[in-house]
Structure formats: structure tokens, C-alpha cells
Amino acid sequence: HVQFFLTYLAQGVQRVGKDYLRTQASDTLGGDASALQLFYNLLPEFGSLPWTSKPILMFLAERYLHSRQRCLLAALVAVVTAIAWGFLAASTPSMQALLLCTAIVSLGSAIVDGLIDGRVAE
């Protein structure tokens, strides 16, 4: 139950992080319309590119990974996502680094969300 609580707490805290990302994107990307469009397509929220791929990723995880492996994957992805958030918070990233970290954060949150939802269904 702690795993579920921590996942959903992190998703709630992530909403604050998205506001920070939007502010950082305005400063980092300036008026580059194509980079801003890519940034908004990568934001960690429903309808973004990584969250759209979530059903396919979860199908593959369910098909090819055992329960223990999915738990380890969730932990690994959560650590990588935390590192990306930490990098964004501790530095002023370049345009490429901002887009890459945003993609990592969004994909990571989608994967962990799907894996934890799968645990609930078990």
C-alpha cells in the first residue's frame, strides 16, 4: 500500500513541477514556436506523447516481464525520473536538455503510473 501512496503523492507533487517546467520553458525556449510545441507535447499529462504510448508500453511490460521484474522496473524508472527532476531543479538547462528531461519525466511518470495501476488490478 505504501507503493500506491507514494506513486499518487508523487503525481500530485508533479503538478507543481509542471508549473515550474512551463516557466523554465518560457525562459529557455524563448519564442521558438517548434520547440515550444514539442515541449507542450512532452509535458507529463494525459494526451502528451509519452502518455499516449502508455497502453503499448504496459502491454509489453505485462507480456514480457514477471511481477517482480515490473516492480524493479517501476523503482528504476522512478529513480531516473527523480534524477531528471533534480537536474532541472539544480541547473539552467539548455534547450535540448530541457526537452530531454521533460520527455524523461513524462515517460517515467506514465510508466510508473501504468505499472502501479497494473498492481492494483492484480
pLDDT by residue (tens digit) across 21-38? Answer: 888 888 899 888 899 899
Residue 15 is predicted with a pLDDT of: 73
Query: Is residue 105 predicted with pLDDT exceeding 80?
Result: yes
Query: Half-sphere exposure of residue 10, counting CA atoms within 13 Å on the CB side?
Result: 22
For residues 64-89, give the mean pLDDT. 92
For the entire predicted model, the pTM comes to 0.83
* Secondary-structure breakdown of the chain: helix, strand, coil percentages, each rounded to the nearest 5: 85, 0, 15
Query: Is residue 53 predicted with pLDDT exceeding 70?
Result: yes
73 with 65: CB under 8 angstroms? yes
